[in-house]
Structure 1
Amino acid sequence: MSIDDLDRRIIDELKLDGRISYQDMGERIGLSPTAVKRRMDRMASAGVIRGYTVLVDPSVDGRDTEAFVEVFCRGTVGPDELRRILSGIPDVIEAQTVTGEADALVRLRASSMPALEDALEKVRLAPQVDSTRSAIVLSQLIARRE
């Protein structure tokens, strides 16, 4: 399914507020509430909108290059500091502190391999980061939603 600029604007607004009303959405993007609902229903039927916690197909968003990165820090770095470092990198979509050798596990999603490399370099260049170990996602086998 192809989407147009209005569909992208709807998706962007839903990412900001998944509970936005059709009326408020329409006012923000210049459509009637009925037109907003019709577009949202069409995108839901086509699988572009996968749920109403607003899960958007990464290829529609143009960010379908993904990797998992183990982050190894110098010395002791607390979770708040890791959160501060990683939240400044837009391609970081998840990050957790973990047990084992690594200090954190980070999930990156980018628009291309060069963009993924740039995001990974931003993680590596953080002063507290000693090294990283990456695994690029080839295909998703299971995606369960809670």
Structure 2
Amino acid sequence: MTVTDALDLRILDVLKTQGRISNSQLAAKLDVAPSTTHLRVRGLVERGVITGFLASIDQEQVGIAIQALVGVTLRPGARHTSINAFSEDARSLPEVLQLFFLGGGDDFIVHIGVADTGALRKFVVDHLSGHPSVASTRTSVVFNYHRNGVAASF
């Protein structure tokens, strides 16, 4: 089921950047009754439009000084098995912040966070380039980024 009207969209617009806003603050911001926002948010959660509330963590504060996006191309042959195996293996690694399965030049983009460049090199060599399904990798270091919201997994 999808969002049904403009008020739902306005609620989502606020929540995507202020997930911890109180119901009364949300209602005041949208100029509606608190009971309205309470029912609407609960309905969005029940319908699966809102899939969760996440904490945004300052990665440097927890020892992650380097982030990178690694493009991964899989070896040809047995694609379905390779895609599933690589995806499951990559998701299990604590350094993986996000994993994107793509159509196009790369099969995956792996967003990773590590302590330093030595850890970045070790991760790419050991876990990505060294994976039996991987044909090649291409690493780009992230200098800075901006996020407008968090998308749910597919």
The question of a shared fold, defined as TM-score above 0.5 by the shorter chain, is answered with: yes
Instruction: In structure 1, give the amino acid aligned to 2:131.
Output: A
Instruction: In structure 2, give the amino acid aligned to 1:113.
Output: T
Q: Structure 2: which 5+ residue stretches go unaligned?
A: 1-52
* Whole-angstrom CA distance in 2 between matches of 1:89 and 1:125: 14
Looking at CA atoms only, which structure, 1 or 2, has the larger radius of gyration?
2
Instruction: In structure 2, give the amino acid aligned to 1:64.
Output: A
Q: Quick one: higher RCO (CA 8 Å, sep 6+), 1 or 2?
A: 2
How far apart are residue 89 of structure 1 and its match?
A: 2.5
Q: Which runs of 4+ in 1 moved over 6 A?
A: none
1:73 aligns with 2:77: no
Taking structure 2 as the reference length, the TM-score comes to 0.56
Q: Which residue of 1 aligns with 2:111?
A: 107
Task: Using the aligned pairs only, state the percent identity.
Answer: 20
Q: How many residues align?
A: 94
- Describe the superposition over 1:22-75 as per-residue Cα deviations: whole angstroms up to 9, x where unpaired: xxxxxxxxxxxxxxxxxxxxxxxxxxxxxx612210011111301101101111
- Describe the superposition over 1:79-101 as per-residue Cα deviations: whole angstroms up to 9, x where unpaired: 42222221243211111110111
Which among 123, 143, 147 is matched to residue 138 of structure 1? 143
Aligned pairs (5 A) from 1:3-22:
none
Q: Which residue of 2 aligns with 1:40?
A: none
Which among 117, 120, 126 is matched to residue 116 of structure 1? 120
Q: Report the 3-state secondary structure (helix = DSSP H, G, I; strand = E; otherwise coil) of the residue aligned with 2:135.
A: strand
Q: Which residue of 2 aligns with 1:53?
A: 54
